Amino acid sequence: MADAWYVTRQISGLQTLQTGLVDRNRKDTLQLLRIQNDLQLLAIAMRDMLDNDEPYPLTAWSTQFERLRLDLQDALQKEALVAVTTQTAEQRQLLGQAVSQFWNAVDRIFALARDGREDEARAQIRLSLQARQAALGSVVARLLVENNEAEEQTAQRVQAIYLSVRRQVQWFAGATLVAILLTSVYLIRSNRRLFAELASLGDERGQLAQQMIATRESTLSEIARELHDEFGQILTAMGSMLGRASRQAPEGSPLQAELREIREIAQAALDNVRGLSQTLHPSILEESGLEATIEWYLSTIERQVGVAVSYHRSGLSLPVDTTVSIHVYRVLQEALSNVARHSGAERAWVRLRFLPNQLELEVEDHGKGIDRTSVRRGLGVVLMRERAAIVGGAIEFLRPQGGGTLVRLTVPLPRSDKQEATARVPAPAVEERA
């Protein structure tokens, strides 16, 4: 009886731990990711505000900042309700003060802009506001890391409970044959239920990650479409109207020169909008396929991140499903972004191979090398693993002989009729581009 009571209590504690702390930690993490996303949107807005080519006054950004303020406040309130108990009052106070100071600084900057002191307002953005946003991002990132650590501690506690139950069963095995039989039946059923719950939690976590990825892709696609269709059409129409007005102005007049300058500004804005639209969701994927998209992206990456990239393609080219292509493309983006942000390398190598039954993508650099902590916990790495799982592939993070990091993504491809017909034909020449 005492042993049965002990085992039952341990199992109840395990259920309470899983349904309470684990679920609460997951909800807290989702709200922290929402806060982190709002902070990234604020960072992008501040970058655009400081862009010298931006034709809009600073006050035009106040509506976007107010919307993000409301969303951030809502996320902070919900996060406070589900925050794990490991967060101290000092941590909560630090986050609240950082948010309050940030929005106070925002209000001062917009006040300066409304007074016509835009240069001073931009200076404050560079000197103060961006630093406060970065500090907020660090606080949120630290809370996310603590959530991951709490999840690991919970897993250790679950494991400890299992070990304790197992030891108790072994001790009780010597009591009586009848007690052993009854207790064994009970424990088998209980353990099956617990393992089923753990497997269900793992499946739900994977499904949640996939839903997040799908939602992100859908959102980026919608934003890219709106930029291309709405803003692109408006800017194109403006350019056309300015061209007609310039042709109607007297030859050599100052008005004609000014109209030409405005038209050039509109064209530059149109190019920026189209570039941003392609970065968010490259329509070239649907139009030209994965290979053309990779070549286009690599042609722009050196200017964007300052890393020279050598591209090497081999094997018989085959069409790749659009769903598979977008995930392969996002893994390439994340891998090259990690090279630029973390490796310290000035050069990277991208290799795309078409093998008989699979596609293989490699991104290699000879920088600082793999940080095992970031490989286990980094959000970008987690999303890369989830993307590989979605397409039924696998991803590895290796250290090449020359040092640095090698990211290898392998995706299975169905064997097509074209492959069957050319199986005995030698592979075409390899294409390489630096």
pLDDT confidence of residue 3? 60
As a CATH number, domain 2-172 is 1.20.120
Angle (nearest 5°) at CA 224 between 220 and 227: 140
Strand partners, 410: 360, 394
Distances (CA, A) of 178 to 181, 328, 332, 421: 5, 58, 61, 68
Find out whether 14 and 155 touch, Cβ atoms under 8 Å.
no
What are the phi and psi torsion angles at 134 (to 5°)? Answer: -65, -40
Residue 179: CA count within 13 A, CB half-sphere? 13
Angle (nearest 5°) at CA 416 between 410 and 418: 120
CA–CA separation, 99 and 428 (whole Å): 58
Angle (nearest 5°) at CA 292 between 315 and 321: 75
Parallel/antiparallel/unpaired status of strands 347-354 and 358-365: antiparallel
Identify the sign of the CA torsion 67, 72, 77, 82.
positive
Residue 152 pLDDT > 50, yes or no? yes
CA–CA separation, 370 and 406 (whole Å): 9
What are the phi and psi torsion angles at 357 (to 5°)? Answer: -125, 10
H or E element, residue 432:
strand 431-433
CA–CA separation, 407 and 332 (whole Å): 9
Residue 326 pLDDT > 60, yes or no? yes
Residue 154's nearest CA partner among 30, 27, 19, 34 is: 19
Give mean pLDDT, residues 117-124: 86
Residue 359 pLDDT > 90, yes or no? yes
CA–CA separation, 38 and 42 (whole Å): 6
Q: Per-domain residue ranges for the chain? A: 2-172, 217-280, 284-433
Give mean pLDDT, residues 352-379: 80
pLDDT in tens, 10-58: 666 666 656 566 777 778 788 888 888 888 888 888 888 887 666 678 8
Residue 426 pLDDT > 50, yes or no? no
Please indicate, yes or no, whether the overall pTM of this predicted structure exceeds 0.75.
no
Instruction: Give the pLDDT band of residue 423 (cuts 50, 70, 90).
Output: very low
Residue 143's nearest CA partner among 98, 205, 208 is: 98
CA–CA separation, 331 and 172 (whole Å): 52
Any idea which of 150-154, 297-301, 316-320, 394-398 has the lowest mean pLDDT?
Answer: 150-154
CATH class of 284-433: alpha beta
Residue with tokens 């993504």: 409
Quote the mean pLDDT of the chain.
77
pLDDT in tens, 217-237: 667 666 756 665 666 667 677
